[in-house]
Amino acid sequence: MKEKKREGVLDILKKVLFVDILKGLSVTLKYNVSRSVTVRYPDEEKWIPYQRFRGAHTLNRDEEGRELCVACELCVKACPTGCITVVPQEDDTGRGIADRVPKIWKVDLVRCLFCGYCEDACPTTAVRLGRDYELACFNRTDAVRDRERLLRPQEVPEGFEGGMVVSARFERTKEGIRVKPDIWKPRDKDWWKKV
């Protein structure tokens, strides 16, 4: 009987002092003062994937700026979805490493399943799956990337290690919107530790 009475008192005391509420709020309050886990994408931050990541395609050049692609069409042959089109042409002006260069090199990212077989097939390491993962577009034809676009230097260089959040800027230009990362300003090198 007595014990029952004591419990009742404690209960009242807990209620008066908001103990349970504080207990619940403590998690919330703790996160309120701890460092944020959320990536403030796209306005301030952007996740740069690891090197092994397979994003949109990119065509590489050698150190002298010559195109590495020799338009051998092995990537086309290897592609399980048939999303790559290559048409070769002859050009011995020094545009490529051989006198055979692509006249057309395009990839339809809507069809692509990012398996990376094209990379494996490429005898000159011209085609790589880069770290561009922002593939949304308003029009399906916009998802087809042509040679000029693919030859542009990547935002994240091949040698950059990745696996971190860096600061970024959200830009709205005539061509559309994009999130421009600044890879030399890492926000959080070891983001996973926080989770």
Partner 1 sequence: MTTGLVTLKINGREVTVREGTLILDAAKEAGFDIPTFCYQANLSGLGSCRMCLVEIEGQRKLQPSCITPVMPDMNVFTETDTVKMTRSAMLEFLLSNHPLDCPVCDKGGECELQDLVYKHGPRKGRFAEDKVRHHDKDYILSPVIVKNANRCVQCMRCVRVCKEVVGRGVLGAVGRGVHQEETSFLRTRLDCDHCGMCIEVCPVGSFMRLPYRYRARPWDLVSARSVCGYCATGCRLTLERRGDTVVRAIANPEDGFNRKLLCARGRFGYDVMNSEERIKTPLVKERDGSFRPVSWDRALELMKEAILRAGPERAAGVASATLTNEELYLFQKFMRKVVGTANMDSTSRWSAESSLKFMEAAGIRGGGTSVYQCAESDVVVVLGGQLSEENPVTDYILRYINGARRNTLVIASPRGMKLDSSAQLSVRTVPATTGAFIAALLKALVEKKEVSMEGMEAVKGLTVEELSGVCGVNADDIRWIAARLLTAGSVGVLAGTDMLRYDDGAEELALLVRLLENTVRDVRVLPLLDRANQRGAWDMGVHPYLEPGYRPAQRRGHDVHGIVELADSGGLGFLYLLGEDVLGLYPDRAGVERALSRVGFLVVQDSFMTGSAPMANLVLPMAMYGEKHGTMTNQEGRVQRMEAVRRPEGEVRTPLETIGRAGNLIEKDFPVVRPGDVWKEIQKQVPGYGEVRGMEAFKGASADQVAELKPSFSYAVPERAEGEFWLLTGNHLFHGARLSQHSGILRELLGGCVVEIGSTAAQRLGVGEGDMVEVEARGYRERLPVRIREGTPDGVAFMPENFDGKDANRFFDKDRVVSTVRIRPYKKQGE
For the CB of residue 142, give the shortest distance to partner 1 in the complex, in Å: 23
Pair 46, 187: CB distance under 8 Å: no
| Beta carbon nearer to partner 1, 71 or 150 | 71
Pair 158, 128: CB distance under 8 Å: yes
For the CB of residue 171, give the shortest distance to partner 1 in the complex, in Å: 39
| Beta carbon nearer to partner 1, 47 or 117 | 117
d(CA 27, CA 45): 25
H and E: helices and strands count for the chain: 5, 8
For the CB of residue 80, give the shortest distance to partner 1 in the complex, in Å: 15
| Beta carbon nearer to partner 1, 124 or 154 | 124
DSSP category for residue 67? B
| Beta carbon nearer to partner 1, 123 or 157 | 123
Structure tokens at 22: 């504080």
For the CB of residue 116, give the shortest distance to partner 1 in the complex, in Å: 19
**Residue 37 CB neighbours (<10 A):** 10
Q: Which residues bind partner 1 (CB under 8 A)?
A: 70-74, 76-77, 88-90, 92, 98-100, 123-124
